[in-house]
Amino acid sequence: MRARDAGVTALMADQTVGATVRVVVETILARIRSEDYGTDERLPSERALAVELGVARNTVREALDVLETSGVIRRRAGSGSFVTGLGELEEPAPGEAASETGPLDLQVMRGILEPEMVRLAIVNMSPRRIEDLGRTLSEMENVQTDANRFARLEDEFHRQLAEGTGNPLLIACYALILETRRQSFRAALNRRHLTPNRIQDFQRRYNQLFNAIAARDIETAAEYMKLQLTEEQKILLHQD
């Protein structure tokens, strides 16, 4: 575990840090890890984060205190909070749960969470968030042969859906799923199974899913999500 992650973990172990504060800390950390908030980039204001995450402004302030104390962010008077970074390593070391989770266990959890996640996202996503999701889909559709890039964009698509739910706890839970999906077994599966033809097939499926989301068609979107998960499980079990 990198030093700053360890520092955050130690501070969050303090019993005086509330559960909601912990969720906000994990949510911001997940965005930093995914480079949604890049190094030296200014974070949204406390007020904006509070509205977006559905928590009190004091909760956001406490979470930022934890991150500042651990060196993940720095505050500038009159300017806001800026990302310092998580250290020299490009990827964080997986947490214990992520490192102990195998591919099939991961698929089980995705099957439980993702269909309901897309339902909640459709109810809560603003038009602007849907537009952002569409831009990610456009990037996915431009990929022809780069399996790893397609997989990274898949993760970003799902991360945006998680954030679109507006539920801080769900966002934090899904951040753990994304952390697990970044393990070495996923890269090996990408090289083996994400052929150009299969990438094209997945692009069609994600296009159908996005169209249902944009139309606010909850049942159709949930069904497309289930079909995508089924297809990925077939690949994982070598049944196709």
pLDDT value of position 230: 85
Which domains can be identified in the chain, with CATH numbers?
Answer: 3-83 (1.10.10.10), 96-236 (1.20.120.530)
Rank 54-63, 96-105, 120-129, 226-235 by mean pLDDT and report only the highest: 120-129
d(CA 95, CA 46): 28
Mean pLDDT of 4-11: 51
Query: In this predicted structure, what is the pLDDT of residue 16?
Result: 53
Q: How far apart are alpha carbons 48 and 43 in whole angstroms?
A: 10
What integer pLDDT is reported at residue 90 of this predicted model? Answer: 41
- pLDDT at 85 (0 to 100): 74
Question: What is the pLDDT of the chain when averaged over all its residues?
Answer: 82
Rounded average pLDDT over 69-85: 85
pLDDT in tens, 201-218: 999 999 999 999 999 999
- Predicted confidence at residue 92, as pLDDT, reads 45
Confidence of residue 45 (pLDDT cuts 50, 70, 90): very high
Instruction: With beta carbons less than 8 A apart as the criterion, state whether 154 and 140 touch.
Output: yes
* Predicted TM-score (pTM) above 0.75: no
Give the separation between CA 93 and CA 183, rounded to whole angstroms.
Answer: 9
What pLDDT shows up at residue 239? 42
| Integer Cα distance of 235 and 240 in angstroms | 6
Candidate ranges 37-41, 83-87, 119-123, 185-189; pick with highest mean pLDDT: 119-123
Predicted local confidence at residue 181, as pLDDT:
79
